[in-house]
Chain A
Amino acid sequence: MAALRPSPSTAGSQRQRHGPILVTPDPTAGDELEPTVVNGDGAGIEVAVGGRLAVRLDGGRRVNGHAAWVRDARGGPAVEVELDGWRFVFRVEDADRAALRARASRTSASAVGTATLPIRTPIPGRIVSVDVAPGDPVESGQRLLVVEAMKMQNEVRAPRSGSIVRVDVAAGQAVEAGAVLVLIE
């Protein structure tokens, strides 16, 4: 994840000051938060110089934080938010444009007839074992592979049933956070 600095040459070229904004949690952070459309409902949230945040929580407690432009796991621009010590990465885009793009991709997906689901590693580490091969049927919750990081072994399980289209990694291989491990159809 890399911090981004504003560049004077392009400043203002992608302003999103008005209109609804679609906020999508980065898949590598593991949040169960659904993509949210945010209108001008930033009450209780102050953004100061340098991306400093002052936020009032629902319970009334005030917490401080920071926001900055970074690159997400796919290399696209994203907002890293640190709030009360928690770190989030969100993709943000104009909600109307996102809706158009979603409609376009739905059309192309239905043309193919199936949808593939990439399974990514939430942590960087080393592949200990791969339990599936292309063509294997998998049940929801079935173990796909094991990733080791910092002496801890973490099992990656199938989020839904289907069959394995592709396996992109092998045992012993090092992987970065967000890397695609297998594709499920």
Chain B
Amino acid sequence: MSPSLHKDGPPAPSDQAPLDVGQRSLPPFRRVLVANRGEIAVRIVRACRELGTESVAVYSDRDAGALHVRLADEAVRLGPASPSESYLDTDAILTAATAAGCDAVHPGYGFLSERAEFAAAVEAAGMTFVGPSPAAIAALGDKLTARRLARDVDVPVVPGTLEAAPVDSASRIEETVEAARRIGFPLLVKAAAGGGGRGMRRVETADALPAALATASAEAASAFGAGAVYLEREIRPARHVEVQLLGDRAGTVVALGERDCSVQRRHQKLLEEAPAPGLTAEERARLHDFAVRLGRAAGLTNAATAEFLFDTDRRFWFLEVNTRLQVEHGVTELVTGIDIVHEQFAIAAGRPLSSAVIEATAQAARPSRHAIEVRLTAEDPGRGFVPTPGRITTWQMPGGPGVRVDSGVEAGDVVPPEYDNLVAKIMVVAGNRDGAVDRLERALSEAWVGGLQTTLPFHRAVARDPAFRRGDVSIDWLEERWDGRAARGEIAKRAAIAAAAFAREVDVPGACDPVPARPSPVDGWLPAGRREAVDGWPR
């Protein structure tokens, strides 16, 4: 990093001691713009405060009174509620960062976090991007490039093609069908630029392949602006495991252990744990080595995650690398004691990996703690997980030993329909997996959300499920075990009787006293109040 970037702040700290918590005399940056919203923006603002770095939040009109705005040192409006006019608007974010005098930008996850052009634009504007280099983001963001990279360093890749399938040439479709026969059916057609299940098709027979190629490519082109697709064998049943990587600018890349994210629904993770249950120390070491080799080959710095499948023959298959902080980074923090966001800032400021990280890495194959996270979202698990945006009237989260809750809302806040519906990550840690499952069941029994339906009943059902306790989870777990309609129905009749019992005991209140809304232009009462005050003045 050029010292000129810090002309108003502390000198470039590249030659200083590694950053540890408590060293507030050496903040890595003077002012950081947090280019995100919700719980992850809150998480990053909290890290800034601990490091003695000022934080600048950004918000759309919908989020004007949101928790991340309330907690940050300063906040800048980006634009209307629509993501493309606010959190995805590169120009608006760069203008806000420059105007607020920031020397770094943390992208969080989602939104602009894995866009190489955004990272490059931040650097071109004279600020530090807290994440991997634009070149590494671009290389690993293309799944085909990542697959070839893995092959080059002898990391087993899910069998499939390594070049984009020719979708626009009818004469060459036979080549692709031939390649598909070699891979074997059923297989997956995947978008090279894809993620979250978009641009992906499952194909069971050769006949269905040409149509699947065309629709997947069209979907990828509209969703990601790039229509390249490739073929991949479907490995099922399998577990989804991923390795947390950290790399500094001196070229040191380490693995902070792995996570298991097998409880998913339509390629969306619902529950994550660290370490992955049931792996031997040798298997862990082998998995971590695969990930580190990939990270080194890609010139990876800062934080990233390498994702693998683990099949029933106990083999690992490389899937992809995410070049950002993951939603589920907290479980790794609870197991290792490392604050990954602190480390991200230290690395971005040019400091070497801390001694604590190096020690944690040495222990990564023999973890002595177990952590589990559930993603509490505003969705109804009784009705196919339909979104349930609305106002939260009651918000009671668990506490006590070994519990951590990362959230972006409080009672009275609105979960808006425009954005991701994650409302809280409830995490627990204990000395072993059984202890962590017990603690999870206890913690979830304390949670209470009023005003909207959340995924809490689903998570409670997982926590008390005997198969989950045995660590017997695959990616198909949800489809195999969860019948939300029946689960809700079982409770509904008793709930109706409870409502009558409550009505007998407690009087209907005469006056209505809504939970006070937070000041927000959307509600309009604050501007209305101001108008009234101004108009009422004597002239």
**A residues bordering B, Cβ < 8 Å?**
1-7, 9-18, 21, 23, 25, 29-33, 36, 38, 41-42, 45, 47, 51, 53, 55, 57-58, 63-71, 77, 79-88, 90, 92, 122-126, 148-150, 152, 154, 177
Contact = CB atoms under 8 A, between A and B. Distances in A.
A81 B420 CA distance: 26
B488 interface: yes
A150 B421 contact: yes
A5 to B, nearest CB: 4
A42 B497 contact: yes
Contacts of A124: 389-390, 417
Contacts of A32: 489
B456 A90 contact: no
B511 A92 contact: no
Nearest to A32: B489
B509 A5 contact: yes
Nearest to A81: B495
Given A7-B509, A149-B417, A16 B494 contact: no
Contacts of B453: 29, 86-87
A51 B502 contact: yes
Contacts of B388: 123
B501 to A, nearest CB: 4
B215 interface: no
B409 to A, nearest CB: 14
Nearest to A64: B445
Contacts of B493: 33, 36
B505 A47 contact: yes
Contact of B389 (A4, A12, A58, A149): A149
What are the 6 tightest A-B residue pairs by CB atom distance, in nearest-first order? A10-B510, A85-B456, A2-B514, A85-B457, A150-B387, A38-B500
Given A149-B387, A150-B387, A77 B502 contact: no
B525 interface: no
Interface in B433-473: 444-445, 447-454, 456-460
Contact of A57 (B494, B504, B510): B494
Contacts of A14: 507-508, 510
Nearest to B514: A2
Given A3-B450, A9-B510, A88-B492, A17 B501 contact: no
A79 B488 contact: no
A88 B511 contact: no
Nearest to A69: B509
B507 A66 contact: no
A122 B460 CA distance: 25
Contacts, number: 210
Contacts of A64: 445
Given A83-B494, A123-B386, A124-B389, A68 B450 contact: yes
A65 B183 CA distance: 52
Of A17, A42, A51, A82, chain B has the most CB atoms within 10 Å of the CB of: A82
A120 B42 CA distance: 35
Contacts of B480: none
A47 B498 contact: yes
Given A1-B451, A17-B504, A11 B510 contact: yes
Contact of A70 (B378, B393, B459): B393
Task: Tell me the interface secondary structure of chain B in the complex.
Answer: mixed
B482 interface: no
A151 to B, nearest CB: 8
B507 A11 contact: yes
B483 to A, nearest CB: 14
B502 A6 contact: no
B358 interface: no
Given A66-B448, A69-B506, A124-B389, A47 B419 contact: no
Given A3-B515, A33-B496, A125 B417 contact: yes
A184 B491 CA distance: 32
B13 interface: no
Nearest to B382: A86
A103 to B, nearest CB: 22
A41 B458 CA distance: 29
Contacts of A66: 394, 448, 450
B496 A82 contact: no
Given A83-B494, A124-B389, 11 more contacts: A4-B511, A11-B507, A21-B504, A23-B496, A30-B380, A42-B501, A66-B450, A77-B508, A82-B449, A122-B386, A123-B386
Of B418, B458, B500, chain A has the most CB atoms within 10 Å of the CB of: B500
B168 interface: no
Given A38-B500, A57-B490, A4 B417 contact: no
Given A82-B448, A150-B387, A31 B490 contact: no
22 contacts: A2-B393, A5-B511, A6-B506, A16-B503, A23-B496, A23-B497, A30-B380, A30-B383, A38-B496, A38-B501, A51-B506, A57-B494, A63-B491, A66-B450, A85-B447, A86-B453, A86-B457, A122-B386, A125-B389, A149-B389, A150-B389, A152-B386
B372 to A, nearest CB: 17
B420 A150 contact: yes
Contact of B496 (A9, A36, A80, A150): A36
A154 B451 CA distance: 21
